[in-house]
Structure 1
Amino acid sequence: MSYHSKTIKQAVKDIESEKTFLPAIQRKFVWPRHKIEYLFDSLMRNFPIGSFLFWELKSEKAYDYVFYNFLRKYDERKPNNERKTGSFLNPEIIGVLDGQQRLSSMYLGLQGTHRERLKYHRSLQDYAYPETALYLNLLTLPYYINNEGDIDIEREIDFEFRFLTQEEAKHIKSKNNEGIWNKSFWFKVGDVLRWSDDPEIDEIFEALKLACVHENQTNAFNKKKRLIKKGLRDLHKRICEEELINYFKVTKDDLDDILKIFIRVNSGGTILSKTDLLFSTIVATWEDGRDEIEAFLKDLNSKGDGFWFNNDFLMRSCLVLSDLPVLFKVNSFKSKNVQLVKDNWENIKSALEKTVNLLESFGFSGSVLTSQNSVIVIAYHFMKGGNTSETSKQGIKKYLLHALLKNVYGGQGDQVITSFRNALREEVVDKENKESSKEKTYQLKQSTFPFDVFLDLKLPANKTLKITEEDIEEFLNYRKSANSFFVLALLYPHLRFNQVHFHQDHIHPHSRFSDAKLRDVGIPEDKWQHWQSLKDTIPNLQLMEGRENSSKNATQFKDWFEGSFDGNKNVNDPVKFREDNFIPSTSLEFSNFETFYTERKVLITSELMKVLNLKKKQEQEQEISNLSES
């Protein structure tokens, strides 16, 4: 990798001559107009604009990859770059890996046009999206003549770059205000590219002055002659003379290597990932693919209380559900595999929708789903025709809660997904030839979700779904969070989350644990910190219907338990409530919190052991002893 530089003019020329393109590692152009204007202000002030990363490769090799043309006519209604089609005209081409937004902005400002919706306009017609180009106001340049007679620059005043229509650049809207003419003269910035290498600034100044349309404008031009000539000279220097495009040049052929280099050297802007590369590659040959995928993600994320699924999740899902290698590599999305994903797209969508609907019924949302990878295995079950029986649903729920509580996807997600997928599927064999088909296809080993099989799997890094007595002890110390929800979900398996909204409720209210409240009920000061450390953990938490939780709020638990709201008892059946929520028979007074906490912890531990079909160590040891005696 070597370091080079070139002028902005040369960079623009390379784009115009179809030598420089945007590779599949690219996003939509997202910079708003004001950001482009600030970039040109930075150029005029000679501020650093960051380095670039250019990928240089032979044109015959470039045909293996997807490239896009730079936008010359930006339109907010259709902001996507067009894919490069046809032959490459140069023996070598350049792909811009880092600096795409900046270089696109320079190109638009110097050679392009920009359409953005006018404020307060809702129409999609052209009149609401006027075509504009970049101009510089020569009568408001932030230069001044200092005490020594030299030209200096005001730090607090910007160069007035602005995107304007041709009409706006020629005329002043305030027709009756003659004083405004001496404040505006708009010079089209791209005209600087047509000047000679050593322009006659005096001649250019005089030619521009002839374009003045009002006496006040001409007078202002003459008065600011020295400052205007300075501005024109500086603009030419920055665009055409000084080599401000500083770039690293890489010549690797393997796009995986290119991406690694990119991630290492990128220090600013929006960092691109392999997901961005794969997403761009998959939609490059899929008409309306980008809109289709983005609309589907939006739909998935709008379900229930909302999810946070992203392109990373969707790209990995496409790989897994299409029986492709799970590991993220560029080769995973060669044209053959892209076509496979496109062919499977409707089935992939259906499997993911079915999965997320099930998650919603389990009470999950983006705020508690701590691993999106865990969802993909469930979708694979549905993709291959797995059933939705009650047994499967309970198995899926157990798998999900175990996987999240044991954090099995942390660190080696791809390998863990592969292990689970292999446990789900088997290769389809041609029964006549008793051989695998040339193109491998897979089917489920069983139609019911195999939680018990998963439970016995040895996962990468010696991980397992199995929960132990020691794990339960650790779980009960979880503070109110996504993890505490997982534990409570095991304790409340029959709640209808898809019908009723449930909250994690503090049984003894959070507000009762302040120093002042603890003092009021006579708790010794040396116990305050201990009580406060327990208040947010699972033995003081329960799942409660949102409406009930709102009515309970900061009311003392004993008062709420025995009281009523809007004429209705809060607890109609105290015995059943205690059983359902593992409330011990001890006093519910707040002053008895420590005893309540200890006894409820025992009840919860016992229930979790039962739900998870675990035996206490003493029972296991006794069974072993009995076996050895017999």
Structure 2
Amino acid sequence: MQNRKLSIRKIVSYLNDEESEGGGYWLPNIQRPFVWSPEQMMRLFDSIMREYPISTLLVWKTKDPVKQRRFIDNYHRQIKLTDFYVHEHRRQKMMVLDGQQRLQSLFIGLKGSYEGRQLYFDVTSGQQAAPEDIRYRFAFKDASAATWPWVLFKDIIFNNKLDLQIAKSLVDHAGVTLAEPEWTAVQLNIARARQEFVNNDNITFQELDSVDNDEAYKIDDIVEIFIRANSGGTKLGKSDLLFSLLTSSWDEADSEIEDLLSKLNRSGFAYDRDFVLKSCLTMLNRGARYEVGKFRDGKTKEEIVEKWSELSKAILATHDLVQTGTYIRSDKAMPSYLALIPLIYYRYHYPELFKANSQLPDYILRVLVVGAFGGNPDTLIDRIVKSIQEHGEFVLNEVFGVIRESGRSLEITPHVIFDQAYGSREIHLIFNLWYRAFNYHPAYNGNIPSVDHIFPQSLLRSVKTINPDTGRRNMMKYHQAVRDQIANCMLLTADENGAAGKTDIPPKEWFARWRFKSDAEHEKYLDLHLIPRDPALWELNRFEDFLEARKALIQEKFAYMLQKAEG
């Protein structure tokens, strides 16, 4: 193992370039997806400008025909890693084992874009700031929105003119006249950028050489090194490590799991790789808990590969049950995907019984409404699986007994519903059951229904009460918990809640008869949203009476669920 150094501009130029030194730098298939946010990326560039050190990278030089992929240049959230795969070959290449997030951020910032926006730099920034604050300002912007002092950062870095010439060119192009302090700041920032990104060898990496010594590092050694190098990194959980072990012996793991997730999420859900791996472990009777040892023995990996077709069918069938057996139609209404894993186990081992069991939707709704799978539910999942094994069936009362014995409540009382608040997943779950005719996964995301306040927040904030300490009427009467409760919320279509929609319109105007074409249409709207018919309750001074009247209507609507909680 040897340490090497390169400038940032040089190593970025080597990414994805097989004609460059060492055969170019690539990502092995065991690497996770890119996860950094724009804020993290901008902080990296700020840190480099502040001369903060970059942690040492880890690179494997090899000629082995390992599965690899290119670094992403133009990043989009819906990007597919399979689009970046490179054909396996026996030519020399440099595989990045540790440092992907940093190199990928540098590549996007200097060579590509993030969601169609390129990286710009405020060339007048750089004033003294606290260590935790941003000193050098970077941002991903559309070209049309990038006005002075924002300049395209790569135009500074990939430029062979002198620093002063670059500064003059940028100012001339912007057509601005600068005062002496601004002109000085521009020159200093360009000089600093060129020094840190072009001239200094700021990238240090350790090189594992399997070319000059082909016996030094085998693929199993590399996987183990990768796991140890990354196990302390941010956002790299045990599921990522397990996936690394899985992909080392299953070349199609990435594409197969990505294809499954694409099918699951095409209708507005957000299943992820963690969920798939935990489901597989559970179905194969390995327990729900992530443990690297489960994949090191080789048997688990072999079983997943061998039984993948049936494993994935069980996951898809359970997802279909969610969509057809309940009215849950989007990620917003899924407080916990983990509640589905016992059902996935049941479908995998008892497919015919699964199809015939009419109690499964009741299980899904009950455990999601009460939040039975909150916290760390691995032990609960294993106990429910044990119940299924003992009975050879998913017996609802037995499963509920297991959940209660685990100290988790299943009682759907009125308070369980009334305690749901604006912004929570549980309120979206309740509204999915309430507003069954709404389209929760339109073609355009901007058309997704949204939760809004009936009595606008701005209106309620204006109501003051007597301050007991001063005797003055200057204390807010209705705090956030009161304003955000479900009795003051309704679900609106995108048109209703858009720029020309409800916004801050008070209920006495929003529900007024004159807004509707007929009495029937007016009454239908009030019934849909469970609005008390008495217009007097729509006045601000009757807000508390409105809440009580609407709670009674909500409780009546969900009586079928509350009654089931008795059993």
Q: The TM-score by the shorter chain falls in which range? A: 0.5 to 0.7
From 272, 288, 291, the equivalent of 1:326 is 288
Aligned residue-pair number: 441
For 1:269-325, what per-residue CA distance to the aligned partner results, in whole angstroms no more than 9, with x for missing partners?
xx433222322333343343322321321232121xx12222111222222233333
CA distance in 2, matches of 1:74, 1:560: 50
| Residue aligning to 2:562 | 612
Indicate if the aligned counterparts of 2:72 and 2:104 stay in contact, CA closer than 8 A.
no
TM-aligned CA deviation for residue 408 of structure 1:
3.1
Q: Sort the Cα spacing of 1:257 and 1:364 in 2 relative to 1 into closer, same or farther, 3 A.
A: farther
Where do 1:341-490 residues align within 5 Å? 341-361=304-324, 362-383=327-348, 384-385=350-351, 392=358, 395-426=359-390, 445-446=392-393, 450-458=395-403, 462-467=406-411, 469=413, 472-473=414-415, 475-480=417-422, 481-488=424-431
1:488-530 alpha-carbon deviations (Å, 9 max, x no partner): 556x4x94567999957668442683456999xxxx9689623
SS at match of 1:613: helix
- Shift, 1:397, TM fit: 3.5
**Superposition pairs for residues 187-198 of structure 1, below 5 Å?**
none
SS at match of 1:569: helix
Distance (Å, rounded) in 2 between the aligned partners of 1:30 and 1:596: 45
Structure 2 counterpart of 1:316, which letter? K
The answer as to whether partners of 1:584 and 1:596 remain within 8 angstroms in 2 is no
CA 1:585–1:453 in structure 2 vs 1: closer, same or farther (change >3 Å)? farther
Q: How far, CA to CA, are the matches of 1:463 and 1:355 in structure 2?
A: 26
The one-letter amino acid paired with 2:542 is N
**Which deviates the most, 306-315 or 66-75?**
66-75
Q: Distance in 1 between matches of 2:402 and 2:49?
A: 63
The secondary structure found in structure 2 opposite 1:612 is: helix
Counterparts of 2:441 and 2:285 in 1: how far apart (Å)? 37
Is the 8 Å Cα contact of residues 70 and 85 (structure 2) preserved in structure 1?
A: no
Q: What is the Cα deviation at residue 331 of structure 1?
A: 3.1
Q: What residue in structure 2 maps to residue 317 of structure 1?
A: 279
Contact between 2:449 and 2:493, CA under 8 Å: does it hold in 1?
yes
Gaps of 5+ in 1: 32-38, 56-65, 86-93, 109-113, 120-135, 145-152, 163-230, 427-443, 621-630
Judging changes above 3 Å, is the alpha-carbon distance between structure 1 residues 561 and 569 closer, same or farther for their aligned structure 2 residues? farther
CA distance in 2, matches of 1:534, 1:96: 52
Distance of 1:504 and 1:43 partners within structure 2: 41
Residue 341 of structure 1, CA deviation: 1.8
The residue aligned with 1:170 is: none
Partner letter of residue 297 of structure 1? Answer: L
Partner-residue secondary structure (3-state), 2:316: helix
1:282 to 242, 246, 252: 246
Secondary structure of 1:7's match? strand
The CA deviation at 1:570 is 2.3
- Aligned-residue identity in percent: 21
Distance in 2 (CA, whole Å) between partners of 1:489 and 1:526 is: 39
Q: What is the match of residue 55 of structure 2?
A: 50
Asked if the contact 1:406–1:465 (Cα under 8 Å) also holds between the matched residues in 2, the reply is: yes
The C-alpha deviation readout for 1:174-227, integer Å capped at 9, x for no partner, is xxxxxxxxxxxxxxxxxxxxxxxxxxxxxxxxxxxxxxxxxxxxxxxxxxxxxx
Shift in alpha-carbon separation, 1:518–1:254, aligned structure 2, 3 A: same
Distance 2:105 2:449 in 1: 48
CA drift of 1:156 comes to 0.9
Query: Partner residue of 1:339?
Result: 302
1:365-418, Cα deviation, whole Å (9 max, x unpaired): 1223222212323333333315577962xx434333333343333332322221
Equivalent of 2:548 in 593, 598, 605: 598
Larger radius of gyration: 1
- Determine if contact 2:431/2:491 at 8 Å carries over to the other structure: yes
Q: Aligned partners of 1:5 and 1:513: how far apart in 2?
A: 66
Distance 1:457 1:375, change over 3 A: same
Q: Which whole-Å CA distance do the structure 2 matches of 1:552 and 1:421 have between them?
A: 48
Partner residue, 1:510: 456
Contact map agreement 1:505 1:542 (CA 8 A) in 2: yes
CA contact (8 A) 1:316 1:326 kept: yes
Whole-angstrom CA distance in 2 between matches of 1:477 and 1:68: 53
Which whole-Å CA distance do the structure 2 matches of 1:74 and 1:549 have between them? 37
SS in 2 for 1:290: helix
Q: Gapped runs of 5+ residues in structure 2?
A: 15-20, 37-43, 75-81, 117-156, 166-186, 209-216, 443-447, 466-471
Q: Deviations over 1:533-578 (max 9, x none)?
A: 534312234567778888994463587375562456324579x939
CA separation in 1, counterparts of 2:477 and 2:404? 40
Write the distance in 1 (CA, Å) between the matches of 2:338 and 2:496: 34
The 1:540–1:43 alpha-carbon spacing in structure 2 relative to 1, beyond 3 Å, is: closer
Contact 2:461–2:476 at 8 Å: present in 1 too? yes
Q: Is the 8 A contact 2:57 2:204 kept in 1?
A: no
On the 8 A contact 1:484/1:538 being kept in 2, the answer is: yes
| Contact 2:59 2:207 survives alignment (8 Å) | yes
1:451-471 Cα offsets, whole Å, 9 max, x none, are 3322211468x43242265xx
Partners of 1:137 and 1:583 in 2: CA distance: 66
TM-score norm. by structure 1 comes to 0.52
Q: CA RMSD in A?
A: 6.0
Q: Deviations over 1:22-41 (max 9, x none)?
A: 8875247999xxxxxxx9xx
Counterpart CA distance in 2 for 1:78 and 1:607 is 48
Change (3 A) 1:528 1:352: same
Q: Following the alignment from structure 1 to structure 2, what is the Cα–Cα distance between the partners of residues 8 and 385?
A: 57
What TM-score, normalized to structure 2? 0.57
Partner residue, 2:171: none
Task: Report the Cα distance in structure 1 between the residues aligned to 2:71 and 2:229, rounded to whole angstroms.
Answer: 31
**Take 1:473 and 1:137, find their aligned partners in 2: how far apart are those partners?**
62
